[in-house]
Amino acid sequence: MSEQHSRSAATIAAQALHIINEETGGVVPGIELATTFARDDSYEFRSEFGYSRDSNPTTRNAEKIIKALSGAEDALVFNSGMSAISTVYETLRPGQHVVAPIIMYHGAQHWLQHLEKTRGIELTLFDQTKQGALKEAIKPGKTELVWIESPVNPTWDVIDIAEAADLAHEAGATLGLDTTVAPPCTTDAFALGADIVFQSATKYLGGHSDLTGGVLTTAKNDDRWQEIQYVRKHLGGILQPFEAWLLIRGIRTLFVRFERASQNAMALARHFENHPKVERALYPGLENYPGHEIAARQMTNGFGGMMSLLIKGDEAEARATAAACRVFMPATSLGGVESLIEHRKTVEGPDSAVPDNLLRLSVGIEGEQDLIADIEQALGQKPSVDPRALRADVR
């Protein structure tokens, strides 16, 4: 992403394209709650809108903003991240082959495995830590979709997006990229060669843990994109107007939230990477992290707030550490202004490939020292500050 592009994306986000309430001059758009739109005397719709399951003015505003700030050809918003992902998978035909990493968002992987059983889609999971594994997994002429995320959740292994795009395209496949943890404020997915880009709007785009939504953007308005639009309309997966409005509001602060979360996560990763009670800090922002150089090329405006700690200890000790946190809240999800922690394996279930001693941290925008002190005390260190006092402290 060039500096110019990054500046203009920041401006687009902050100003939300200056979409105002045309009737009143209000500097933020209103919410259009209507489910249906009146026809004129000749029975034509008065605007581009007819029925809210197809499209709605507030929802379309969110799409226009996301399209502009991502440099996409088009954008569609859905009522959850999984609704957006499953809509892409709905375009796959029996016998077509899909390639995805072993470690990835577990819900999306479970759904691919479900489609393998029920719809005759072929699936190959590749080891994202092994050089050459993706190339080996792709079957030229047969692979229809390569679906990746980078960094992968929750070990933050870095997949080279540009290389994956080349490999997919050489084989005649589409590259689908989940950029939930590396949103367009830091990753210029289309410049790296992605064809379809997905984000859970529940995470960084919304940013306040108060809306469930998903976003697809596309490099081209091609047949697959047309089908995605058709599927959204028929499965009814569109984002509702109030959530679309919350999404627009969230996007306005995306850049500053992401930058602050990135700074906090970097401080935590540096503090805990050589800690006596920590085996490893997993964070692509660390210079010695495998794939750091690729991450630095792909994430040009911060490495984000997502990191994990492999603690010295077993599953029980990892869970006890998460439970002892007082500033980090034990909860699923990520990308909100408040920091969350979870023992990921417990959440994903016994067949999960995630290590037993891994704690996933979604680092928010709180004071850096409070976050560090909280993990310190939870790891059984003498707390430098009483974390209960921190909680009451309004910062």
Q: Which residues are catalytic?
A: 53, 105, 178, 203
CB 88 within 8 A of CB 95: no
250 forms part of the interface with ligand PLP (CB under 6 A)? no
**Per-residue exposure over 251-290, b if at least 16 CB sit within 10 Å of its own CB, e if not:** bbbbbebbbbbbbbbbebbebbbebebbebbbbbbbeebe
In angstroms, what is the minimal distance from the CB of 118 to ligand PLP?
20
Q: Which is nearer to ligand PLP, 171 or 211 (CB)?
A: 211
Sign of CA dihedral 272, 273, 275, 279: positive
The token duo for 256 is 């500053």
In angstroms, what is the minimal distance from the CB of 318 to ligand PLP?
20
Residues binding ligand PLP: number (CB under 6 A)? 17
CB 241 within 8 A of CB 33: yes
Burial of 177 (0-12, 13-18, 19+ CB in 10 A): buried
Pick one of 128, 180, 301, 308: the residue that binds ligand PLP (CB under 6 A). Answer: 180
Within 10 Å of residue 375's Cβ, how many Cβ atoms? 28
Coil, strand or helix at 358:
strand
Q: Taking the mean position of all CA atoms in its chain, how far away is CA 287? A: 23
Pick one of 144, 149, 160, 376: the residue that binds ligand PLP (CB under 6 A). Answer: 149
In angstroms, what is the minimal distance from the CB of 100 to ligand PLP?
12
178 forms part of the interface with ligand PLP (CB under 6 A)? yes
304 forms part of the interface with ligand PLP (CB under 6 A)? no
81 forms part of the interface with ligand PLP (CB under 6 A)? yes
Q: Which residues contact 212 (CB under 8 A, 6 or more apart)?
A: 79, 80, 81, 201, 202, 243
200 forms part of the interface with ligand PLP (CB under 6 A)? yes
154 forms part of the interface with ligand PLP (CB under 6 A)? no
357 forms part of the interface with ligand PLP (CB under 6 A)? no
78 forms part of the interface with ligand PLP (CB under 6 A)? no
In angstroms, what is the minimal distance from the CB of 213 to ligand PLP?
7
Q: Which is nearer to ligand PLP, 153 or 174 (CB)?
A: 153
339 forms part of the interface with ligand PLP (CB under 6 A)? no
Question: Could you tell me the CA-to-CA distances from 120 to 93, 107, 111, 136, 277 in Å, in that order?
Answer: 8, 19, 13, 21, 46
**Interacting span for ligand PLP (CB under 6 A) from 40-48, 196-204, 307-315, 337-345:** 196-204
The token duo for 192 is 């790296």
Binding residues vs ligand PLP (CB under 6 A): 80-82, 105, 107-108, 149, 153, 178, 180-181, 200, 202-203, 212, 214, 334
